[in-house]
Structure 1
């Protein structure tokens, strides 16, 4: 999780100063410290001590803790105005350094990028700004070299073998010496391992490590994404050995000491193609409210801290769900077998039992280990049909119909409570790929959420809310799901877009989730609602995992933590272990509970960013595969015409999203009318200089598919016609822009900062204001689009 140096692992023959001790000496000095002065300070005279210190200092250099200067001395990077960051490459050869401390990225011109590659960790010195206002950076040292393996396409051109990286951010081709081709054939997809890094005078040299197969082979897009994003997909030998010991059924002695819920009619509701069932629900009326049971697979009973299963689960962080393919966090013997809440078999579970008032308020909650037996495996579509009155299905599942109706009644109460507290409710349409027997896409169909999806979602939110409260009540440590306030710049930009679309957003000193809900209500019947919802989502922060509870803005909750999917998310497993620790401490009957574990704060501080990163990695990989498949699908539609909506406006053209398939393509500015265009970045407009034609977000468009570039995952459209929305606003003169901020009713930046930085609830808000900490993090949804 942290940058670590493995070269220090062997034990030295003699005792040498620690990193901390040497850092303290170097920091105390007024100038960089020579190696000889370090030896003198610690009174080191033995040659073996000198060698050990030199090795440790070099390791500290590699980790960016020290800088070795030209006069053979060691200095502190921060005092030399050096910053740590990650290189972000660009297809055109230049790049940027994304600074660890945040702030504006530093621009790397072509000659700087010749010596590094996308993903490298570097020490950089900020310089002056270029003609375009970009502050340039000068790379002082490479701290960590990434990537070491690159996925790309193998070519032989004029007798020279090379690999062109699939990732366009890696702008340098890899030279492959003849003896390192490893049997690869022209045009194949390969994995290349770097042998020699690039320099100003030479390209990187690599060897072919693995031949993945022919270009366009079925499933190749997934193989590329897995390797390109470094998603672990091979089980270690130690894990395989552990997995072989896993029984097929729950042992009788493991059921002892647990609450017996086998007669409680718990049931699972999942998608048609789901194979891992990690949650079951049941509710019954109680007074004017309800009692709700949410039973979650007890993964922590089988996956113990420090085991091979645990180490690999932590390494993966979460399951990754591609179309028709899953890279699971845990082996199928657990995820689809012993831990999956399959119907009519006994399973171990952790239960959140809650009482909910008539207005949807969570009144009481308790957690305990149990043994259960699922009474039915249902799907979202079947449940929705049963609730809509399908006579055949109601007869088939007559033994659970009353339970489903009670759950539906509970859902309506919870839904109303959600609306009253102002939680944001997205109703975006996702797509599903329909493949034929040869794994070629036959069609792309939209997937709409029905009442069954939302019913389960509300039950999971209640359990996650209760779990976070439970841990806080007992001063426990876990990973909270944190969603911070929107970024002020992105929020201001979103307000400007709304103004252009004829929409309004409530004005407050500090935004509230209900403000976004009002926007969603305004666009519910608009044809461009999907686009507006997407822009709204982009104006929000990404949710992250964090050891601190700062509340969940989107759900308008003071505390929130993921409890409901330990099969596929490591943070849920961490939370289960902490809940068990609390139960074992609080209740004598649970004193011997298996799987309990306490994490200290330092461990949680590391776990949060790691789990957020693996979640982002999964999202990036699945997005890449989706883009590839959409391009493959559109190859068969070159020349066809479609209706769409302008989804983005840039200085180089328009992106149009097709209504039927939710696919975006580019209408390049050179393919518009033959005149000059001016780009208005604040208002997302392209304005023709001569004609005054305006192309803007949300306009309806008719396009023809002009070309598809599968290698670069690009689709080009030809614009046939544009119809402005009914709320279109005529373009203003440039001098009128100055009045935009006051017309929008939005505060100037400096004034806005004064009242900023609160979170969703009062307790969390105070904590956040006091600590003023926390990174911006991950995606709105979990790797598997199932439950929050």
Structure 2
């Protein structure tokens, strides 16, 4: 959405629009002055002068114009300026990610002194750095990042400092005595930056919130929520609305809905799930199947542009941490009125589908309904029932036929999925088992069973049906779930990785999902199969929400959307409103279609970007918490030995993924056998200069835990033994022909300074500076005494 479509400030007089001002600047061969703008548009009123000046300043802030040293307005593109976001790095340098796409620009450490991770800047390209990366020079900060920072408060020789928890923020924040607000040494705090950094001084701030003591139970979640700006508070208007909602479905909501309360719909979820947003039922029909997927009718309760809707949009999705959830909707809705709990009436939107005996979607219809879940099933119970567990089969005799029908339909859908060669990952997730003090007792694998895949296939079918509906009726307007094919760069890297393992990805420059599936099938029995699958996943693009359908590469589908989880995903709620709007257009107004909404194209673009961002935000936050908890767990295992596999090779060492625990640790290059090691980026190798020892992706290793740094979320390992996937010992043999020394020697690795080392150096410099100031002060006093 352009700025002209957003809410603009009201002016008492007419002034040129942004588009008109941009056209005026573009028409000139050189930057245009303010007086020339006034003359061009014949603006004589003083109020017009003020209004235009304000609009020009706003255009500067948004990076549309640049105010030059010659006091004129020019176009950033003509000055070779690139607008983008700063991405900091723990080692002091950074990158600028351009808004318009393309490769990131490398920002040297000196340039990073005056900016912070997350700032929006204008950057001028300065050629290539020694590694061949595009390098940039920061010209201007046009939008500062959120000024609140989560970190740990330290006091050293009366000097207060907050060390940011986010390693991408390289500058420590100086806290004056009067701005500590009761913070004690070692506590986790939120600090607001009151003075930004520059090339000579560190940022200065004040403590605005004390989260608690370091290592307190749940502190890792508190940090992640604030660090990633995840909203947790409801507006007063939302709380007031929710408070007035009844505990049961209001009588007026039943009107104009199909009554499905006798249909034996069931929910199948995890043991600890509390928000049930989908229920399913299937039965044979002719030579095929009829499938009902009933989804909670969230759109009836969450109306467009209400305070509740705005709060839900801001969150974008629910965020699931271990033993804690930040919900997209208030609990009274997410776990109550909107949750398809057993044996109670609930409002729903239904996708009723006709499926052929080959697993093809033949027809579908959508309608609002009222339902009653006939059983709250879990994945574990359904899998046991299908395996013939007699006690459970007796307990759930009333829904045995629906469960077995779903299983039979699943076999058909599974075969169709394999027929189109959708990429199937055998992912292995882990979960934390906590004790009463909320400390981790163990980390256990969570394996998917047949019940997971039954529900997955039913949901995919419903999502395809809704995507086809929206594709057919473009006027409805909604978001598709788009997964594009891998980029050429990622494809090249993945092919290089496979070549080192003697594997090949077919398909040339445009491989299909069938080509990827063939690779997975080839490696299924290999000991390094999980690693190869991980690297394949890394080669993929990230799925996004967008109003423009481009298909789903991973699922090998021409159209796909998200319809099945409106309790926890905002894009699903958008889709429900669009379907209701379409039905309303076809059938006329009725009570059941309340909440219908047609979104304009510009708003859908923004919604897609926002919902994709909140999804990434949730992923980053949960990953951060997982890393912290794994480090906390490994603190009790320092000195112990584990087996693992080399999951990543870098110029500074080897990342090892420990078997069973699925925890990554680092064998730093300085802890390898005494030698100079060179990094081969193309072949993912570390090669000893003299010993010719080679360490590569996929090698099985045995390691010992040396230390754990909880602040840095780092686990340091010592390598004890290594062997290739084929069993060849790499600790005792020399490199074979494939590992001969490369003609162009890669650069030697260097150990980056840890954050703690950087903090100590800064504290030391600050103390030295204060000492010099104190000496000058004393000398000045002595001179004044002598004069007297």
User: Structure 1 705/250 Cα, relative in aligned 2: closer, same or farther at 3 Å?
Assistant: same
For residue 38 of structure 1, what is the aligned residue in structure 2?
37
Q: Does 1:265 align with 2:271?
A: no
Structure 1 stretch displaced more, 521-530 or 266-275: 521-530
Deviation string, structure 1 residues 19-49 (Cα, Å, up to 9, x no partner): 2221121111111111111112222223232
For residue 27 of structure 1, what is the aligned residue in structure 2?
26
For residue 629 of structure 1, what is the aligned residue in structure 2?
629
The normalised TM-score by structure 2 is 0.91
Structure 1 stretch displaced more, 265-274 or 468-477: 468-477
For residue 436 of structure 1, what is the aligned residue in structure 2?
435
Structure 1 stretch displaced more, 47-56 or 141-150: 47-56
For residue 253 of structure 2, what is the aligned residue in structure 1?
254
Q: Aligned partners of 1:691 and 1:118: how far apart in 2?
A: 41
What SS does the aligned partner of 1:211 have? strand
Q: Aligned partners of 1:207 and 1:5: how far apart in 2?
A: 38
Q: Is the 8 A contact 2:256 2:591 kept in 1?
A: no
Q: Aligned partners of 2:473 and 2:110: how far apart in 1?
A: 56
Q: Aligned partners of 1:374 and 1:101: how far apart in 2?
A: 48
Q: Structure 1 residue aligned with 2:738, among 732, 746, 750?
A: 732
Q: Is the 8 A contact 1:685 1:697 kept in 2?
A: yes
Deviation string, structure 1 residues 231-270 (Cα, Å, up to 9, x no partner): 1111111111111122111012201101100000000000
Q: Is the 8 A contact 1:583 1:590 kept in 2?
A: no
User: Structure 1 333/591 Cα, relative in aligned 2: closer, same or farther at 3 Å?
Assistant: closer
Q: Is the 8 A contact 2:4 2:17 kept in 1?
A: no
Q: Is the 8 A contact 1:114 1:200 kept in 2?
A: yes
For residue 504 of structure 2, what is the aligned residue in structure 1?
504
User: Structure 1 359/228 Cα, relative in aligned 2: closer, same or farther at 3 Å?
Assistant: same
Structure 1 stretch displaced more, 494-503 or 610-619: 494-503
For residue 477 of structure 2, what is the aligned residue in structure 1?
477
Deviation at 1:2, TM superposition (A): 8.1
CA-based RMSD of the aligned residues comes to 1.8
Q: Is the 8 A contact 1:468 1:561 kept in 2?
A: yes
Equivalent pairs counted in the alignment come to: 737
In the TM superposition, 1:485-504 aligns within 5 A as 485-504=485-504
Q: Is the 8 A contact 2:105 2:136 kept in 1?
A: yes
Q: Aligned partners of 2:154 and 2:148: how far apart in 1?
A: 17
Deviation at 1:642, TM superposition (A): 0.6
Q: Aligned partners of 1:366 and 1:131: how far apart in 2?
A: 60
In the TM superposition, 1:567-646 aligns within 5 A as 567-588=567-588, 593-646=593-646
Q: Is the 8 A contact 1:62 1:144 kept in 2?
A: yes
Q: Is the 8 A contact 1:33 1:74 kept in 2?
A: yes
Q: Aligned partners of 2:650 and 2:245: how far apart in 1?
A: 55
For residue 349 of structure 1, what is the aligned residue in structure 2?
348
Q: Does 1:174 align with 2:173?
A: yes
For residue 547 of structure 1, what is the aligned residue in structure 2?
547
For residue 118 of structure 1, what is the aligned residue in structure 2?
117
For residue 56 of structure 1, what is the aligned residue in structure 2?
55
What SS does the aligned partner of 2:549 have? coil
In the TM superposition, 1:60-99 aligns within 5 A as 60-99=59-98
Q: Is the 8 A contact 2:477 2:599 kept in 1?
A: yes
Q: Which has the larger radius of gyration?
A: 2
What SS does the aligned partner of 1:235 have? coil
Q: Does 1:535 align with 2:535?
A: yes
User: Structure 1 502/65 Cα, relative in aligned 2: closer, same or farther at 3 Å?
Assistant: same
What SS does the aligned partner of 2:366 have? strand
For residue 754 of structure 2, what is the aligned residue in structure 1?
none
What SS does the aligned partner of 2:210 have? strand
User: Structure 1 523/727 Cα, relative in aligned 2: closer, same or farther at 3 Å?
Assistant: farther
For residue 786 of structure 1, what is the aligned residue in structure 2?
none
The normalised TM-score by structure 1 is 0.91
For residue 745 of structure 1, what is the aligned residue in structure 2?
none
For residue 395 of structure 1, what is the aligned residue in structure 2?
394
In the TM superposition, 1:311-390 aligns within 5 A as 311-390=310-389
Q: Aligned partners of 1:733 and 1:150: how far apart in 2?
A: 46
Q: Does 1:674 align with 2:674?
A: yes
Q: Is the 8 A contact 2:254 2:592 kept in 1?
A: no
Q: Is the 8 A contact 2:656 2:666 kept in 1?
A: yes
User: Structure 1 407/589 Cα, relative in aligned 2: closer, same or farther at 3 Å?
Assistant: farther
Q: Aligned partners of 1:351 and 1:113: how far apart in 2?
A: 53
Deviation at 1:353, TM superposition (A): 0.5
For residue 777 of structure 1, what is the aligned residue in structure 2?
none
Q: Aligned partners of 2:608 and 2:254: how far apart in 1?
A: 32
Deviation at 1:57, TM superposition (A): 1.0
For residue 651 of structure 1, what is the aligned residue in structure 2?
651
Q: Is the 8 A contact 1:501 1:727 kept in 2?
A: no
What SS does the aligned partner of 2:189 have? strand
